[in-house]
């Protein structure tokens, strides 16, 4: 199939300036709630979302993780990289995620704390783009989250040295088994694993519309920490 032949019309909703919260983090939380709960919104939207999900289920397409986000980073020379990670929290500080500090993203964030996030919720034809600076979370907060993870995931944090080349799947499983034997009870927080928070300087909300005349609104953080809201051309 030719990618250029794949087309769709965006018609499930609209976005008006009067609907937007003065604080973009609050606005994000509302949109996230909508994405996580298809019961929100008017009846026609719930029906269209239900049909969309049913059709994908019939085709065997699983629903995307609602908290999945593309994280874009760059090294000290400006060479970019991107990958999908999971949002684990959002509050007045910003957007929170966890990873191995020795991973490529961890090393790039150590060299260059500027990063960007993109959320895409196809059911609602919505996208949120976030840009700002990233810093590490306190160790106590990292440990608290780590303890909430399933045991298998905690063992994997010890077994997997992100970025390292592995010979095969068997060697990776062997390392995991060794960690399971090493930590038969509680699995402690690895010293090279923890969380980050991205403090946003810009948050853009995109709502798909007919004829590609999409609604786009951008919040920009001002020097006094207030937000400037502007409509952008699609």
**Torsion sign, CA atoms 99, 103, 105, 110:** positive
How far is the C-alpha of 80 from the C-alpha of 84, rounded, in Å?
A: 14
DSSP per-residue string spanning 97-140: EEEETTSHHHHHHHH--EEEEEEEETTTTEEEEEEEEEEEPPHH
Neighbours of 176 (CB within 10 A): 16
How far is the C-alpha of 224 from the C-alpha of 38, rounded, in Å?
A: 37
Neighbours of 56 (CB within 10 A): 15
Q: How far apart are the first and last CA of the chain?
A: 27
Is 212 annotated in the active site? yes
In the block, residue with structure tokens 């976005």: 15
Contacts of 53 (CB under 8 A, 6+ apart): 38, 63, 123
Catalytic residue among 154, 212, 221, 231: 212
Distance, C-alpha 87 to centroid of its chain = 4
Angle of the 169-182 helix axis to the 151-159 helix axis, nearest 10: 110
Residue positions annotated with a catalytic role: 212
């Amino acid at each position: 199939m030719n990618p250029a032949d794949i087309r769709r019309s965006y018609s499930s909703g609209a976005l008006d300036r009067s609907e937007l919260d003065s604080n973009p983090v609050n606005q994000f939380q509302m949109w996230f709630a909508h994405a996580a709960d298809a019961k929100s919104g008017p009846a026609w939207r719930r029906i269209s979302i239900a049909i969309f999900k049913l059709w994908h289920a019939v085709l065997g397409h699983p629903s995307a993780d609602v908290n999945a986000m593309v994280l874009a980073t760059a090294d000290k020379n400006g060479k970019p990289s991107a990958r999908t990670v999971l949002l684990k929290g959002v509050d007045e500080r910003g957007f929170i995620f966890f990873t191995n500090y020795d991973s490529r993203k961890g090393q790039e964030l150590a060299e260059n704390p500027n990063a960007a996030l993109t959320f895409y919720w196809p059911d609602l034809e919505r996208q949120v783009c976030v840009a700002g600076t990233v810093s590490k979370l306190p160790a106590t907060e990292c440990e608290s989250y780590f303890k909430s993870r399933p045991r298998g995931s905690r063992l994997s944090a010890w077994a997997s040295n992100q970025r390292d080349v592995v010979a095969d799947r068997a060697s990776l499983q062997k390392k995991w088994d060794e960690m399971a034997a090493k930590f038969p009870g509680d699995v402690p927080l690895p010293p090279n694993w923890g969380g980050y928070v991205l403090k946003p300087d810009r948050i853009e909300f995109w709502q798909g519309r007919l004829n590609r005349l999409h609604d786009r609104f951008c919040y920009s953080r001002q020097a006094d920490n207030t937000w400037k809201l502007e409509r952008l051309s699609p």
